[in-house]
Amino acid sequence: MTHGSLFHRQGRGERHRPVMNNELKRILCYLNEKHGLDFFGYRASMVQRRVGQRFLFTKCKNYDEYYAYLLENPDELNNLIDALTINVSRFFRNSLAFEYMADRILPAICHRKKETGDHSLRVWSAGCSMGEEAYSIAILVHEFLKEETLKLGVNIFATDIDGKILEKAQQAVFPFESMKDVKFRFLKKYFSFTENAFQLMPEIRDRVLFSVYDLLDNKSSVPSESIFGDFDMVLCRNVLIYFNTAYQDKIFDKLYRALTQHGYLVLGEAEIPSPKYERYFRRVNDCCHIYQKI
Ligand SMILES: C[S@@+](CC[C@H](N)C(=O)[O-])C[C@H]1O[C@@H](n2cnc3c(N)ncnc32)[C@H](O)[C@@H]1O
């Protein structure tokens, strides 16, 4: 696998960012060989920081020592993957975006469905971590459809590169930190509190289908579970920030293809379409990062 060119072909605004050295690349090559995971397109500063945390933790002095440690301790690879895939999330993160989805986007999608006679609603949470985002949208869809005369079949797909986090997502048990932005009425209605954690009701939990999917996978444009994509809404939030421009472009290409005509792309607060893709999306309002495919 040759990745050298990517490290030097940095995109706009990345000219002064750190570049990965050969010792660090060797560690990522090993990870790629063993697990097929591609971290070469992650921002160098983030990778340096995260691998650095692991070599300090394992009491290694530098990347070379840490590489030797990895060869001798195969279990450490899982710790490294954990360190590189940042799983922080919470329900209704950036609540304004969720308010906007509930207030404007879902009604707009529904209006179009009535016009076209298509009675299915398809959503993809890409880079879903422990499922907080996918479950948040499942709650909103559930609330919305209760008031709506149109009967829609709903498919919510949630994917992540990290299989271990998806096992937890399926259990749908969350600590208090994940719940800080949940409205009290939703908390009462959709969660039970047991053993210092919040359990999501099966009614919502069972609406989301989780699967492992690497957004950098070259062989497919959508997760195989979704069969054909054609999503009305794709949420890919707080994932793109970790990638360099070349890899962001690869992901935008995938997200663009995954969306149905006039579908919506919801990004994180610090994310915008990469320069190559900005002309393919229209920002729907000024206060949150929701874009419509044009
Ligand atoms: C910070 S979390 C974001 C969770 C949620 N979207 C949110 O905004 O709260 C980033 C997630 O992206 C996942 N991720 C990182 N690289 C990925 C890739 N190449 N393909 C799919 N998921 C990836 C990580 O495992 C992690 O769970």
Question: How does DSSP assign 91-108, residue by residue?
Answer: TTSSHHHHHHIIIIIHHH
| CATH class in words for 4-84 | mainly alpha
**Does the beta carbon of 215 sit less than 6 angstroms from any atom of ligand 1?**
yes
Ligand 1 geometric centre to CA of 86 (Å): 7
Strand 281-283 and strand 290-293: pairing?
antiparallel
Instruction: Report the predicted TM-score, pTM, of the whole model to 2 decimal places.
Output: 0.90
Q: Give the phi and the psi of residue 83 in degrees, each rounded to 5.
A: -70, -35
pLDDT given at position 175: 96
Does the beta carbon of 38 lie inside 6 Å of ligand 1? no
CA distances from 133 to 175, 181, 229, 267 (A): 15, 12, 19, 12
Phi and psi, residue 171, nearest 5°: -70, -30
Nearest Cα residue to 259 out of 242, 244, 243, 273: 273
Tokens representing 177 are 């930190």
Residues in contact with 290: Cβ distance below 8 Å, sequence separation at least 6, in sequence order: 97, 100, 101, 105, 264, 265, 266, 267, 283, 284
- Quick one: pLDDT at residue 8? 32
Q: What is the pLDDT of residue 16?
A: 53
Q: How far is the CA of 77 from the centre of ligand 1 (A)?
A: 18
Nearest to 8 by CA among 228, 245, 262: 245
* Ligand 1 proximity of 209 Cβ (cutoff 6 Å): no
Rounded Cα–Cα distance for residues 17 and 63 (Å): 20
Q: What pairs with residue 192 in β-bridges? A: 199
Ligand 1 centroid distance, CA of 242 (Å): 9
Atom 13 of ligand 1: nearest residue by CA position: 127
Degrees to nearest 5, angle at CA 75 with 127 and 173: 45
Report the candidate in 128, 141, 132, 142 with the shortest Cα–Cα distance to residue 182.
132
Give the CATH class of 95-293: alpha beta
Q: What is the pLDDT of residue 195?
A: 84
What is the structure's pLDDT at 12? 42
CA of 168 to the centre of ligand 1 (A): 14
Q: Is 239 exposed, middle or buried (0-12, 13-18, 19+ CB in 10 A)?
A: buried
CA-CA distance, 292 to 261, in Å (whole number)?
9
Order the strands of the 153-160 sheet from edge to edge.
208-212, 153-160, 120-126, 231-236, 259-267, 290-293, 281-283
Q: Quick check: CB of 223 below 6 Å from ligand 1?
A: no
Q: Which residues are bridge partners to 120 per DSSP?
A: 153
The residue contributing the CA closest to ligand 1 atom 12 is: 127
- Dihedral sign for Cα 212, 218, 219, 223, please: positive
In order along its 294 residues, the chain shows pLDDT tens digits of 333 222 233 344 444 556 789 999 999 999 999 988 889 999 999 999 999 999 999 999 999 999 999 999 999 999 999 899 889 999 999 999 999 999 999 999 999 999 999 999 999 999 999 999 999 999 999 999 999 888 899 999 999 999 999 999 999 999 999 999 999 999 999 999 988 999 999 999 999 999 999 999 988 989 999 888 899 999 999 999 999 999 999 999 999 999 999 999 999 999 999 899 999 999 999 999 999 999
Q: Where are the chain's structural domains?
A: 4-84, 95-293
Ligand 1 atom 10 nearest Cα: 239
**pLDDT reported for residue 269:** 94
